[in-house]
């Protein structure tokens, strides 16, 4: 493993912040080394300074993408933390369905949900499974599930929807697994009917949210923790802009919006908290 | 650590016996099946950590089917396939079905024990990972209760502050009345 010099930590962490908004603690030397050493070595770099220079000079941005992939943490569980999904099933979806069902029976109920840090897709597919279980006949619905992440490789895995048995065995019960996935040896692939409900796109949450429209429910879990307070404020302000006035926001169960975004108020349902606009 | 339990499936009595003896000597719990049908019954009845199965066996249940039966019952069962030298293609197919490894005949026991030790290492790593996940979940759960309670309390306090602030800024009233009302509001909270 290539050792990082103190002076390199400063430049590399600034570079990572510039390309991703991820704020890495400069004291965590091991984090830089465990995440970036193999990227540096694979490119034949002897130091992180060399890696930094190579990345900046690379017009194709391939190295930049490799660095983002290496530095971003990919969540690998379906139904990670039951709370938000029970909340979705028993409170948020029923309320949104009520509010969005048109008076005319010929019109469809349109619902848009966004997973802002979709990683490799488990959260969004978990949401899709809940929707399928709650609404067996989707013909009267137009449901759009949108997932974004900063990592290219995470997005492509999410789009493909193929998971190994370790990524799948926690969180998913056997009947759900067999109902919604096809077995491929040691792997499981999401079935087309669920795959068709979702769209994934690469997106940096630090940049303006252009052309994504308004959402009824937004999941933004366990990503803002990697941002500075100032960037967190900007992020949730932009999220408030693209959330419907009666829509719902769900953040990570150990996250807080106190002192971050006064436009949201927390509300409790059973053992979970969700946010609505004031 | 618990003793690893291994099922040996082979229609050749010599190989079956040899495997049984060598594995028992190495202190594993070993059971044997002389064909795929007996193996199926045993797999359904007993929990095994590892299954060592011959690829080609008489009857409808061969090595590939044994893999399917084992994986269907419990995805954590690891299957090592024993193949003749000429059937490497089938071995690749077996790996696709979920076999963890294959051995060519004649069996090299050093190699077999190395494979088994590798499986044990992977299993203990997985168990560690699960334990760490569970510990993380427990910590996260406790932290989230505290944070969520504080979040709601902070929001309530903010709301009260807003009410008091509105009262204090109400220019329709005189300063003394505003202070008086604000104090009453605070006292009533």
Tell me the nearest-neighbour CA distance from B24 into chain A, angstroms. Answer: 29
A169 touches chain B (CB under 8 A): yes
Q: Is residue B145 part of a domain?
A: yes
- B94 and B164: one domain? no
- A206 and A261: one domain? yes
Q: Contacts of residue B96 in chain A, CB cutoff 8 Å?
A: 185
Quote the tokens at residue A132. 């399928």
Q: Is residue A149 part of a domain?
A: yes
Q: CA dist A210 to A87, A152, A207, A220, A259, Å? A: 29, 19, 9, 17, 26
- B102 and B160: one domain? no
Q: Is residue B93 part of a domain?
A: yes
pLDDT at position B2:
57
Quote the tokens at residue A235. 């992020």
CB A222 within 8 A of CB A122: no
DSSP-based three-state secondary structure for A220: strand
B1 touches chain A (CB under 8 A): no
Of A185, A255, A262, the CB nearest to B97: A185
If chain A, 278 residues long, is cut into consecutive pieces of 10 residues, what is the mean pLDDT of each piece?
A: 94 95 91 94 95 96 95 81 94 97 92 96 96 93 96 95 85 89 88 96 95 96 95 98 98 96 96 95
- A53 and A88: one domain? no
Q: Is residue A1 part of a domain?
A: no
Nearest residue of chain A to residue B123 (CA atoms) = A166
Quote the tokens at residue B40. 């199926």
CB contact under 8 A, A256 and B144: no
- A26 and A61: one domain? yes
CATH at A54: 1.10.155
How many Cα atoms within 13 Å fall on the side-chain side of residue A60?
3
Q: Is residue A76 part of a domain?
A: no
User: Last residue of some domain: A51, A71, A91?
Assistant: A71
Q: Contacts of residue A271 in chain B, CB cutoff 8 Å?
A: 145
* pLDDT above 60: residue B1: no
User: Last residue of some domain: A50, A71, A92?
Assistant: A71
B88 touches chain A (CB under 8 A): no
Q: Is residue A53 part of a domain?
A: yes
- A107 and A213: one domain? yes
Q: Over pLDDT 90: what percentage of chain A?
A: 84
Q: Is residue B156 part of a domain?
A: yes
C-alpha–C-alpha distance, residues B23 and B49, integer Å: 13
CB A195 within 8 A of CB A161: yes
Quote the tokens at residue A75. 């969540």
Question: So what's the ipTM on this one?
Answer: 0.84
Tell me the nearest-neighbour CA distance from B39 into chain A, angstroms. Answer: 21
pTM of the model: 0.85
Counting the structural domains of chain A, the total is 2
CB contact under 8 A, B126 and A166: yes
Range(s) of the domain holding residue B156: 135-188
- A119 and A236: one domain? yes
CATH at A268: 3.40.50.150
User: Last residue of some domain: B107, B125, B156?
Assistant: B107
The DSSP secondary-structure symbol of A140 reads G
- A135 and A95: one domain? yes
- B100 and B145: one domain? no
CB contact under 8 A, A254 and B147: yes
Of B143, B145, B151, the CB nearest to A258: B151
Of A254, A258, A272, the CB nearest to B140: A254
Q: Over pLDDT 70: what percentage of chain A?
A: 99
pLDDT at position A184:
84
Tell me the nearest-neighbour CA distance from A193 into chain B, angstroms. Answer: 24
Give the DSSP H/E element, type plus range, for residue A86: helix A82-87
Nearest residue of chain B to residue A80 (CA atoms) = B137
CB A216 within 8 A of CB A141: no
CB contact under 8 A, A254 and B126: no
**pLDDT (tens digit, 9 = 90+) per residue, A251-275?**
999 999 999 999 999 999 998 999 9
- B176 and B90: one domain? no
CB A111 within 8 A of CB A100: yes
pLDDT at position A273:
96
Among A187, A266, A253, which Cα is nearest to A222's?
A253
CATH at B97: 3.40.50.2300
Of A18-32, A142-156, B63-77, B87-101, the least confident: B87-101
- A40 and A103: one domain? no
Q: Is residue B18 part of a domain?
A: yes
- A230 and A268: one domain? yes
- A22 and A48: one domain? yes
CB contact under 8 A, B97 and A166: no
- A51 and A101: one domain? no
Q: What residues are paired with A124 via a beta bridge?
A: none
Phi, psi of A105 (to 5 degrees): -70, -10
C-alpha–C-alpha distance, residues B23 and B45, integer Å: 21
Q: Is residue B118 part of a domain?
A: no
Range(s) of the domain holding residue A50: 6-71
Q: Is residue B119 part of a domain?
A: no
- A30 and A135: one domain? no
- Pairing of the two strands A272-277 and A264-269: antiparallel
Q: How many CB pairs below 8 Å do chains A and B form together?
A: 44
The DSSP secondary-structure symbol of B107 reads P
Counting the structural domains of chain B, the total is 2
């Amino acid at each position: 493993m290539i050792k990082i010099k103190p002076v390199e930590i400063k430049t590399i962490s600034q570079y990572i912040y510039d390309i991703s908004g991820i704020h890495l603690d400069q004291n965590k030397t091991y984090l830089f080394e465990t995440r970036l050493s193999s990227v540096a070595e694979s490119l034949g770099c002897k130091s992180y300074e060399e890696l930094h220079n190579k990345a900046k000079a690379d017009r194709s941005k391939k190295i930049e993408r490799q660095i983002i992939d290496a530095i971003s943490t990919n969540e690998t569980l379906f139904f990670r933390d039951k709370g938000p999904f029970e909340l979705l099933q028993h409170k948020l979806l029923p309320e949104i369905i009520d509010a969005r069902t048109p008076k005319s029976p010929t019109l469809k109920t349109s619902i848009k949900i966004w997973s802002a840090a979709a990683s490799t897709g488990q959260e969004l597919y978990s949401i899709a499974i809940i929707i399928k279980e709650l609404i067996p006949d989707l013909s009267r619905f137009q449901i759009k599930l949108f997932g974004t992440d900063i990592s290219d490789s995470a997005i492509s895995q999410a789009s493909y929807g193929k998971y190994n048995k370790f990524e799948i065995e926690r969180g998913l019960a056997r009947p759900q697994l067999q109902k919604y996935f096809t077995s491929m040896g040691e792997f499981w692939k999401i079935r087309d009917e669920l795959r068709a409900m979702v769209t994934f796109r690469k997106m940096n949450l630090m940049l303006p949210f252009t052309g994504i429209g308004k959402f009824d429910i937004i999941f933004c879990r366990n990503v803002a923790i990697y941002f500075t307070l100032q960037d967190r404020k900007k992020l949730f302000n932009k999220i408030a802009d693209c959330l419907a006035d009666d829509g719902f926001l769900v953040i990570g169960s150990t996250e807080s919006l106190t002192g971050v975004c006064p436009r949201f108020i927390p509300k409790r349902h059973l053992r979970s908290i969700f946010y609505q606009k004031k | 650590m618990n003793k690893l339990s291994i099922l040996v499936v082979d229609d050749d009595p010599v190989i079956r016996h040899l495997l049984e003896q060598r594995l028992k000597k190495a202190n594993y719990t070993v059971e044997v099946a002389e064909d795929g049908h007996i193996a199926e019954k045993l797999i359904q009845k007993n929990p095994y950590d590892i299954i060592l199965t011959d690829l080609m066996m008489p009857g409808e249940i061969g090595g590939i089917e044994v893999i399917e039966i084992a994986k269907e019952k419990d995805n954590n069962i690891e299957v090592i396939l024993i193949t003749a030298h000429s059937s490497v293609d089938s071995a690749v197919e077996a790996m696709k079905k979920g076999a963890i490894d294959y051995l060519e005949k004649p069996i090299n026991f050093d190699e077999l024990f190395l494979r088994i030790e590798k499986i044990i290492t992977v299993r203990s790593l997985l168990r560690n990972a699960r334990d760490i996940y569970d510990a993380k979940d427990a910590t996260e759960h406790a932290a989230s209760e505290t944070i969520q309670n504080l979040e709601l309390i902070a929001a309530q306090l903010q709301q009260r502050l807003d009410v008091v602030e509105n009262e204090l800024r109400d220019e329709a009233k005189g300063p003394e009345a505003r202070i008086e009302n604000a104090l009453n509001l605070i006292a009533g909270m």
